[in-house]
Structure 1
Amino acid sequence: MTTIILCLLAYLIGAIPTGLWIGKVFYKKDLHEHGSGNTGTTNTFRILGKKAGIIVFIFDLLKGTLATLLPLIFHVHGVSPLIFGLLAVVGHTVSIFDKFKGGKAVATSAGVVLGFNPFFLLYLAVIFFLVLYLFSMISLSSIAGAIAALLGVLIFPHFHFILPNYDPLFSLIIMVLALIIIIRHKSNIQRIKNKEESLVPFGLNLSKQHNI
């Protein structure tokens, strides 16, 4: 019974639509009606500004971490912490508090990895910020991070680098999270192909996107 309650709690934690609520309460703006219409970190930065964007990023990150740590906090055994983290990501992307809409899962997925393997997250952060500097696109950086995660869980265990042993469940969860992120960036991928993707105001923009 405790496990079921914690699974539900993990979903509800992930389902908190941070950007949407902050926008409505403090800025009198509905993020669904501005920019990309997304309630995640990137659109919050773009529409509500740096302060709100940072708060939303941190909160969405910690949603994944807290959910992943629930079994440790409540001394629940027999269910992997990754299952709780995955439920938080599901809540973030299909939120009961936002008519089953949600963000693109990047920050919350990062929080799940932070709660389970911080060094793997550090590797992904390096990839993310390197791609961000080279191409000036958060969307492309997120997709690159997802692909890097897929490659990491497949390759690193063979070299005992970051992941000393092959963990089937961790690999499976990472694959699911990566696929969720890539699928939810489908419209961004099309804009990147059309060279119309939104950019951050720094970096090299090597792909020469036009929507600055």
Structure 2
Amino acid sequence: MLILYTILCLLLGYLLGSIPFALIIGKIFYHTDIRNHGSGNLGGTNAGRVLGKKAGIAVIVCDVLKVVLAVGIASLISPAAATWTGFMCCIGHCYPIFAHFHGGKAVSTVFGFLLGTSIFVFKDTFYFLVPFLMFFIVLYLFKFVSLASICGIVCGTLFITATLWSMNVQNILVIIACWLMAILVIYRHLKNIRAIQNGEERKITWM
């Protein structure tokens, strides 16, 4: 039964992650399909640029909370199930079944993953605060959301690896999920990395 419940949680995580809040909010409140504007991504950054600050914040909050919910439900099974469910939620966000597998870049969902795991898995706010602080330091210094996102998740993954490292199977499964998360974020931002190298990446102006 444990395996069955875990599989159901992974499926639930993917389906929750697949809810395209940027698309929903854009169409319902702004009569705009943001896939046809800006970068075309269904994420908070593009929603903010296309629809405005309020819409961007709303999308970010919803994308964070859907991962926290998924992790919270799966934490009733085991820490490993919760972590992998959070990862599947981020996969769903990037490749949503409800939006023809064209989603966001997992920035908000990654922080939802870190917040959810810090609450339900690690029960220690430092697992969220450390990468969150790194994100804002890099964002303040360089003004690139993409670079700050990559540095934040890598920092969080290194922190998790350093504090959990042992031959315990549960810990190893959690660490693997976190590294896959970091790889996913880097992969989703390859175009941004090339844009930074070419001096073409857009910088934020509010910080």
| Equivalent residue number for residue 104 of structure 1 | 105
Distance 1:187 1:78, change over 3 A: closer
CA contact (8 A) 2:110 2:153 kept: no
1:50 aligns with 2:74: no
Once the two structures are superposed, residues 40-59 of structure 1 have per-residue CA deviations (whole angstroms, 9 ceiling, x without a partner) of: 01111111111011111111
Aligned residues: 194
Name whichever of 76-85 and 185-194 sits farther off: 76-85
In 2, the alpha carbon distance for the partners of 1:176 and 1:196 equals 28
Assess if the C-alpha contact under 8 Å between 2:6 and 2:81 holds in 1. no
Greater fraction helix? 2
Q: Which amino acid in 1 is paired with 2:191?
A: S
Change (3 A) 1:199 1:180: same
Change (3 A) 1:69 1:28: same
Paired residue for 1:173? Answer: 177
The 5 A counterparts of 1:194-209 are 194-203=198-207
Q: 1:193 aligns with which of 177, 191, 197?
A: 197
SS at match of 2:39: coil
Kept in 2, the 8 Å contact 1:27–1:48? The answer is yes
The equivalences for 1:61-72 within 5 A come to 61-72=64-75
Query: Relative to structure 1, is the Cα distance of residues 78 and 195 closer, same or farther in structure 2, using a 3 angstrom cutoff?
Result: closer
- 1:143 equivalent in structure 2: 150
> 2-side partners of 1:116 and 1:93: how far apart?
19
- Give how far 1:185 is off: 0.3
1:126-152: CA deviation from partner (whole Å, max 9, x where unpaired): 000011111111111111113213432
Matches of 2:6 and 2:176, distance apart in 1: 21
Q: What is the aligned-residue identity percentage?
A: 41
Match of 1:181, SS? helix
Q: Which residue of 1 aligns with 2:139?
A: 132
Check the 8 A contact 2:79/2:174 in 1, yes or no: no
Q: Unaligned regions of 5+ residues in structure 2, if any?
A: 119-124
- Flag the 1:28–1:175 CA change in 2: closer, same or farther, 3 A: same
Alignment-derived partner of residue 121 in structure 2:
none
- Give me the TM-score of the superposition, normalised by structure 2: 0.86
- CA RMSD for the aligned pairs? 1.8
TM-score (norm 1): 0.85
Q: How big is each residue's C-alpha offset from its partner over 1:71-129, in whole Å with a ceiling of 9 and x where there is no partner?
A: 34xx4359621121111111111101010111111211211221112321110010000
Moved more, 80-89 or 178-187: 80-89
Q: Which amino acid aligns with 2:135?
A: F
Instruction: Provide structure 1 residue ranges, at least 5 long, that are not aligned to the other structure.
Output: 158-162, 204-212
Cα distance in 2 for partners of 1:78, 1:122 equals: 19
Deviations 1:1-60 (A, max 9, x none): 544433322211110000011111111111111111111011111111110111111110
Corresponding residue of 1:114: 115
Q: Aligned to 1:80, what secondary structure does the other structure show?
A: helix
